């Protein structure tokens, strides 16, 4: 009987230590994938990147992961992470790329920026990576990561559901860029027109995010005309859903 009770305590402790996985809301929009050279290429790329990303797209369960009362042994510890190696190892992405697309240079280009976007004293990494599965549509991996006290990495999600003014990514052809500008997390892309003048870039849309509880939410959206001296639109504040 004592052995059974001990086993039950072990199960309870193990369950309590498991990370909380929050499924994505059905309304959450993410940046659409850019146009690929072919339908087969698009499907293969989407399957690879989605499988590698969704397998690890979970919110950490601890307050430290969310940026509340985190003790920092090293505020810039995330700079020690080799993100090229990390991304290739995550979800077996490197092996999949080697089997389906290329044996050499599976990540053709990677850019990492560092900034304290949460305001809690430690830096986060803003990563853009282009794999060999991608055509000329831009990076197929754009994520924000935080280093946890145990040395692990937590992806920090971006939530676009606060936008209520039509299709946020209408006219987008390439993967939106993800950068840090003036200390703010910023996503931007060029919107292309349709109709007789289709194909010409018309608007540069800039989306600025802010940290809210356990994710980045839209703070404002601004459109600037391309090739026109007229002023851009005033930033529009996004309505963030409660909860």
pTM exceeds 0.75 for this model: no
Predicted local confidence at residue 76, as pLDDT: 87
pLDDT of 200: 83
161: helix, coil or strand? coil
Tokens of 92: 């077996």
Helix (H) or strand (E) holding 66: helix 63-66
Give tens-digit pLDDT for 106-126.
999 999 999 999 999 999 999
* Helix 93-100 / helix 39-54 crossing angle, nearest 10 deg: 160
Q: What is the pLDDT, as a whole number, of residue 11? A: 33
The pLDDT, as a whole number, for residue 227 is 75
Structural contact between residues 130 and 178, judged by C-beta atoms closer than 8 angstroms? no
In the chain the first and final C-alpha atoms are separated, in Å, by: 44
Show the tokens assigned to 199. 């194909």
pLDDT in tens, 123-158: 999 999 999 999 788 899 999 999 999 999 999 999
Q: 117, 125 in Cβ contact below 8 A?
A: no
Run of H or E residues at 211: strand 201-212
- Residue 172 CA to residue 174 CA, distance in Å, equals 6
Q: How far is CA 72 from CA 77, 123, 144, 157, in A?
A: 9, 10, 18, 22
Contact 157, 54 (CB under 8 A): no
- 3-class SS of residue 1: coil
Q: SS3 for 137?
A: coil
Q: Tens-digit pLDDT profile for the chain (243 aa)?
A: 444 444 433 333 333 333 434 344 444 444 444 434 444 444 444 444 444 443 343 334 333 444 443 445 478 899 999 999 999 999 999 999 999 999 889 999 999 999 999 999 999 999 999 999 997 888 999 999 999 999 999 999 999 999 999 999 999 999 999 999 999 999 999 999 876 656 788 899 999 999 999 999 999 999 999 976 555 565 665 555 544
155 DSSP β-pair partners: 145
Distances (CA, A) of 168 to 17, 117, 141, 176: 38, 23, 19, 11
What φ, ψ does residue 92 adopt, rounded to 5°? 70, 25
């Amino acid at each position: 009987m004592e052995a059974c009770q001990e086993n039950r305590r072990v199960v309870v402790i193990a369950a309590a230590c498991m990370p909380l996985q929050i499924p994505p809301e059905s309304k959450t929009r993410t940046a659409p994938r850019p146009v690929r050279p072919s339908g087969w290429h698009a499907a293969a790329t989407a399957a690879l990147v989605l499988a590698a990303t969704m397998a690890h797209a979970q919110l950490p369960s601890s307050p430290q992961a969310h940026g509340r009362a985190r003790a920092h042994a090293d505020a810039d510890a995330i700079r020690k992470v080799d993100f090229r190696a990390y991304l290739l190892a995550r979800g077996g992405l490197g092996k999949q790329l080697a089997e389906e697309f290329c044996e050499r240079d599976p990540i053709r280009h990677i850019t990492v920026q560092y900034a304290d976007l949460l305001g809690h004293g430690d830096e986060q990494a803003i990563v853009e990576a282009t794999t060999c599965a991608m055509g000329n549509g831009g990076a197929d991996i754009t994520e924000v990561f935080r280093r946890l006290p145990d040395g692990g990495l937590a992806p920090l999600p971006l939530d676009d559901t606060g936008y209520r003014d039509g299709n946020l990514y209408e006219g987008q052809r390439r993967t939106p860029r993800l950068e840090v500008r003036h200390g703010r997390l910023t996503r931007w892309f060029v919107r292309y027109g349709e109709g007789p003048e289709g194909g010409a870039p018309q608007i540069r849309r800039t989306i600025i995010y802010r940290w809210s509880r356990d994710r980045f939410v839209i703070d404002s959206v601004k459109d600037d005309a391309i090739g026109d001296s007229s002023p851009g639109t005033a930033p529009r504040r996004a309505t963030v859903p409660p909860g």
